[in-house]
Structure 1
Amino acid sequence: MPKNNRTPGVALAATAAISLLASACTGSADSRATDDPNARTTLTFWHGWSAPGEVAAIEANIKSFEKKHPNITVEIVKGITDDKLNQALRAGGSNAPDVVSSFTTDNVGRFCTTGALADLKPYLEKSGIDPSKTFLPQMARYTEHEGRRCAVPLLGDAYGLYYNKKAFEEAGITAPPKTLSEFDEVAKKLTKPKGDGYEQLGFMPSFQGYETTFEHYASQFGVEYFDAEGRSNLAEDPAAKALLIWQKNLADKLGGHKKLEKFRTGLGDEWGPKHPFHTGQVAMQLDGEWRGRMATDADLDFEIGAAPFPVPDDQVADYGKGYLSGTILGIAKVSKKQNAAWELVKYLSTDTDAVVSFANAIHNVPSTVAALKSPQLIDDPLYRTFVDIAQHPQSAHAPSSVNGGAFLLTAQDLGVRHESGREKDLDAGLRKTDAQVDKDNEQAR
């Protein structure tokens, strides 16, 4: 399930988590665990899932692990936020977890550089596991930072385009758009104004909308966030400027920032049955694989389709790609039971039956190559669209950063200012954004 939507409240929470994690000093990187993984022991596993079905699914996998490792008992703590996780990793002590998962993929760089999570390379080598071959390569890349692997993927998320088939049919649209110019025309055609609002909006492009963030758009444009020296590169990358211009132009075509914002603030909750895509208020939605299951549970009165999100017209050869994210799994550096903890991490992240059953249960994308090929993986066409997006060679997550996801929030802020018309000089805004990102990264080192 997604945990990267950057609405203002989430942005503040993410910033706080990054700031807290920045102060973490949790031991030297060359320490070695000495515990006996075959001895009777108890591990503490912290995770963020809270929905009943999700909690039941991870607990089922833990029970399967305990059957295979009868000497290890796992105590599970659910619903853990990144704030609480970061505090525990910083403080250590007897109440700290041994194994942790996080939905904030953007924080991998910070987890690795602070030493909050143990280096998994020795454990992977000891077990004969090559991350680039075992895991989907795109997911393997977003769980390491500058050659240091402090996490492994535990299922993933792929983003694409959901569309209301009934609205498409009524508008005479026969297929989902592949390029952004086609997408703009479809979004306009599907939009039905009503008074100072909308009876139906073709697409909500706002940077404060559900999942329509700079980061998610950037994957379609192929934005290069940093140059070879690690400095922010947005002002020098034509793709970043093209993204911001396209987004604002589409917002203007659909009624303008003020009208869209007024409509947006009256929409239903992202995680409830009144999501605007469910209610038909919005005809197309950028979202992840979980939305298909949620739409089914909402018992919609129309059929939905799914396709890759469109790409810029000059990148049509790369159509099929999308933004990737996912849950990460690691061992707390403060843990005194790292060898036993590795057995749990290895099982949850690489055992094919465990990965497939968990993916099927919570409707996420498998993170191992073997699981993606498994005949046991659900074959729902909507879901399979996102499995295909995840495997596209150009699908990717944003690069890891020493300052976690702070650089993405800074780019997002620029997008909000530009969309609203408060940033009059886009080139100057991009340069200011680069300067702020570089300053923040330098302070985080």
Structure 2
Amino acid sequence: MRRTRAAAAGAVTVSLLTAVTACGGGSATGGGSNDSPKTLTYWASNQGASIEVDKKVLQPELDKFEKQTGIKVKLEVIPWSDLLNRILTATTSGQGPDVLNIGNTWSASLQATGALLPWDAKNFDAIGGKDRFVDSALGSTGAQGEDPAAVPLYSMSYALYYNKKMFADAGITEPPATWDELIADGKKLTKGGKWGIGIEGANPSENVHHAFVFAKQHGADFFTADGKPDFTNDGAVAGVKQYVDLMAKDKIAAPGNAEYAQNQSVSDFAKRKTAMLLWQSASANLKSQGMNEDEYGVAPVPVQSGTPGTGKQVNSMVAGINLAVFKNSDNLDGAKKFVKFMTSDEEQKVLNTAYSSIPPVKAAQEDASFNAGANTVLKDTLATSAAAMPQVADESQFETAVGTAVKELLADAAAGRPVTTASVKAALEKAQQQMPAK
């Protein structure tokens, strides 16, 4: 279902809230900018190694905006475990921020609530025009045929990060390009208390991203062409099993990773406990944890054939963060000024450099600093071998349901319980049953 009428928005929001797993938080703090048109409230997602890192990155930029416009921005950085619940609660209560970050994959779901400001031609003109943004980023801003529900802020893609010394010590001369090579290398690297690869089994968002990409590599998707859930097709089952088998069958991921939440796999990689990591734009995160760039290499995520490209050789989802505005904000003019500031060419360079992400703004992306090192791999992936997550109204329920199913399968693997094609299919069938009825 690609379009939900305003009359159904309340029902959609209730179903979204029902689908989201309980994860703390869950209540909006503060309304719009009732105290002054010179104040905005901004909910930022946790992009750095910690919330404190994000505050250090963002506060100087917010101060810069205040100096330019006289508008003070009240910042709250929200961890991913709480973010969707907080946003959904705000959509139903009307008590939320003026401006907020949303995972770009949630755009269509949150658009369906009717709570976000549509970015029509007039609103885009107010921030410099829609044509300033790259097409791949605009493709994850809402349902097809609708005005976007948000504006791209950071673009990211997954890559394979590998420890050069651990590879050399194991006699491995180049990063794996195929999944067979990754498993073979992982087995060589799993020794002496070290593990071949790190994953985050208790992080449903990470789980569903990998499930989506691996299914794509098996020629499948989790939704039919008309937007109906199809979680138990052979390719989807094979993709999920391939991911869970990193722990269950291949045994190159530590059983303890089944309990890992956000950033724990990155921390293990930075501490040289694991030799490989599949992550979105990790360089800044690794640097903040004391790992030098010359210690690791960056390569495309392996695919079946070894050659990333379109079709079955997809090796990332189109990852990123969008900037949205609650349309009931008391300071819509100020909110749009803030969006214009955050997506300005200069600010895009500052922010995306800080987070080792790629600017979705064309002019900023052309800067030399985004065309070297790890950024070369990330940009090429986004341009040639990344696929957008399903832009359907039920996307956030899909993420929660399938991400949690994978979490439970990894818990089985950690406990030594068998993970079979049948058990994976059963878990995905259970997830599909949690989706709203059509």
Match of 2:41 among 35, 40, 44: 44
Q: Given the alignment of the two structures, is residue 59 of structure 1 paired with residue 50 of structure 2, yes or no?
A: no
Match of 1:338 among 332, 337, 343: 332
Q: Residue 324 and residue 97 in structure 1: after superposition, are their counterparts in 2 closer, same or farther (change >3 A)? A: same
Instruction: Specify the code of the residue in structure 1 equivalent to 2:437.
Output: E
Equivalent pairs: percent with the same residue?
21
The 10-residue stretch of structure 1 (140-149 or 113-122) with the greater mean CA deviation from structure 2: 140-149
Q: Cα deviations across residues 77-103 of structure 1 (Å, max 9, x unaligned)?
A: 22245344443443336xx4322223x
Structure 1 residue aligned with 2:113 = 114
Q: Given the alignment of the two structures, is residue 243 of structure 1 paired with residue 239 of structure 2, yes or no?
A: yes
Partner SS, residue 278 of structure 2: strand
1:135, 1:153 within 8 Å by CA — same for their partners in 2? yes
Partner SS, residue 156 of structure 1: strand
Q: Which has the larger radius of gyration?
A: 1
Q: Residue 309 and residue 20 in structure 1: after superposition, are their counterparts in 2 closer, same or farther (change >3 A)? A: same
Q: Cα deviations across residues 82-136 of structure 1 (Å, max 9, x unaligned)?
A: 344443443336xx4322223x3343222201111111114345448664x4223
Q: Given the alignment of the two structures, is residue 307 of structure 1 paired with residue 308 of structure 2, yes or no?
A: no
The 10-residue stretch of structure 1 (108-117 or 293-302) with the greater mean CA deviation from structure 2: 293-302
Partner SS, residue 47 of structure 1: strand
Instruction: Specify the code of the residue in structure 1 equivalent to 2:285.
Output: M
Structure 2 residue aligned with 1:399 = 390
Structure 1 residue aligned with 2:271 = 279
Structure 1: gaps spanning 5 or more residues:
1-10, 22-38
Q: Given the alignment of the two structures, is residue 429 of structure 1 paired with residue 426 of structure 2, yes or no?
A: yes
Q: Cα deviations across residues 261-284 of structure 1 (Å, max 9, x unaligned)?
A: 2x43698x8547992212222111
1:139, 1:153 within 8 Å by CA — same for their partners in 2? yes
Structure 2 residue aligned with 1:358 = 351
Instruction: Specify the code of the residue in structure 2 equivalent to 1:441.
Output: P
Match of 2:342 among 327, 340, 348: 348
Alignment partners' CA distance in 1, 2:22 and 2:140: 22
Q: Given the alignment of the two structures, is residue 179 of structure 1 paired with residue 171 of structure 2, yes or no?
A: no
How far is 1:139 from its partner? Answer: 1.8
The 10-residue stretch of structure 1 (401-410 or 122-131) with the greater mean CA deviation from structure 2: 122-131
How far is 1:417 from its partner? Answer: 5.2
Match of 1:371 among 346, 353, 364: 364
Match of 2:134 among 133, 136, 139: 136
Q: Given the alignment of the two structures, is residue 324 of structure 1 paired with residue 318 of structure 2, yes or no?
A: yes
Structure 1 residue aligned with 2:14 = none
Partner SS, residue 158 of structure 2: strand
Over the aligned positions, Cα root-mean-square deviation in angstroms equals 3.8
Q: Residue 274 and residue 251 in structure 1: after superposition, are their counterparts in 2 closer, same or farther (change >3 A)? A: closer
List aligned pairs for 1:251-290, cutoff 5 A.
Answer: 251-255=247-251, 260-261=254-255, 263-264=256-257, 271=263, 275-289=267-281
Q: Cα deviations across residues 277-333 of structure 1 (Å, max 9, x unaligned)?
A: 1222211111122x3233334334981111111012386545684233222211112
Alignment partners' CA distance in 2, 1:314 and 1:300: 28
Alignment partners' CA distance in 2, 1:242 and 1:92: 42
Count of aligned pairs between the two proteins: 395
How far is 1:407 from its partner? Answer: 1.1
Q: Residue 43 and residue 416 in structure 1: after superposition, are their counterparts in 2 closer, same or farther (change >3 A)? A: closer
The 10-residue stretch of structure 1 (298-307 or 106-115) with the greater mean CA deviation from structure 2: 298-307
How far is 1:354 from its partner? Answer: 1.0
Alignment partners' CA distance in 2, 1:14 and 1:341: 28
Alignment partners' CA distance in 2, 1:107 and 1:322: 17
List aligned pairs for 1:198-217, cutoff 5 A.
Answer: 199-204=193-198, 207-208=201-202, 213-217=207-211
How far is 1:62 from its partner? Answer: 3.0
2:127, 2:340 within 8 Å by CA — same for their partners in 1? no
1:54, 1:361 within 8 Å by CA — same for their partners in 2? no
Q: Residue 176 and residue 341 in structure 1: after superposition, are their counterparts in 2 closer, same or farther (change >3 A)? A: same
Instruction: Specify the code of the residue in structure 2 equivalent to 1:143.
Output: T
Q: Residue 249 and residue 73 in structure 1: after superposition, are their counterparts in 2 closer, same or farther (change >3 A)? A: closer
Q: Residue 84 and residue 314 in structure 1: after superposition, are their counterparts in 2 closer, same or farther (change >3 A)? A: closer
Partner SS, residue 336 of structure 2: helix
2:266, 2:286 within 8 Å by CA — same for their partners in 1? no
Alignment partners' CA distance in 2, 1:206 and 1:56: 26
Structure 2 residue aligned with 1:4 = none
2:177, 2:302 within 8 Å by CA — same for their partners in 1? yes
Instruction: Specify the code of the residue in structure 1 equivalent to 2:389.
Output: A
Instruction: Specify the code of the residue in structure 1 equivalent to 2:100.
Output: V
Q: Residue 74 and residue 14 in structure 1: after superposition, are their counterparts in 2 closer, same or farther (change >3 A)? A: farther
Structure 1 residue aligned with 2:4 = none
Q: Residue 220 and residue 248 in structure 1: after superposition, are their counterparts in 2 closer, same or farther (change >3 A)? A: closer
Q: Residue 266 and residue 61 in structure 1: after superposition, are their counterparts in 2 closer, same or farther (change >3 A)? A: closer
Normalised to the residue count of structure 2, the TM-score between the two structures is 0.76
Q: Residue 274 and residue 348 in structure 1: after superposition, are their counterparts in 2 closer, same or farther (change >3 A)? A: closer
Structure 2: gaps spanning 5 or more residues:
1-16, 28-35, 413-417
The 10-residue stretch of structure 1 (40-49 or 393-402) with the greater mean CA deviation from structure 2: 40-49
How far is 1:203 from its partner? Answer: 1.8
1:158, 1:324 within 8 Å by CA — same for their partners in 2? yes
Structure 1 residue aligned with 2:98 = 98
Structure 1 residue aligned with 2:73 = 75
Match of 1:15 among 21, 32, 46: 21
